[in-house]
Amino acid sequence: MAGAIAAVVRRSLGIAIIFATAASAMLIGCSAVHQQNAQNAFATGNDEAAASEIQSALADDPGNLELKHLAAQIFTQRGVKFYKQDAMIAAQADFQRAVDYEPTYAPAWDYLGLIAFAQHDWQTAIADGGKAAGYSGQADPLYVKQAEDELRKVQSGGIKPYIGSGRRLGGAPHGSP
Mean pLDDT value of segment 129-135: 98
Could you read off the pLDDT of 100-128 as tens digits, one per residue?
Answer: 999 999 999 999 999 999 999 999 999 99
C-alpha 17: how far from chain center: 38
pLDDT at 147 over 70: yes
Could you read off the pLDDT of 20-47 as tens digits, one per residue?
Answer: 444 444 545 688 899 999 999 999 999 9
For 127-148, letters b (16+ CB in 10 Å) and e give: bbbbbbbebeeeebbebbeebb
Q: Whole-prediction pTM value?
A: 0.73
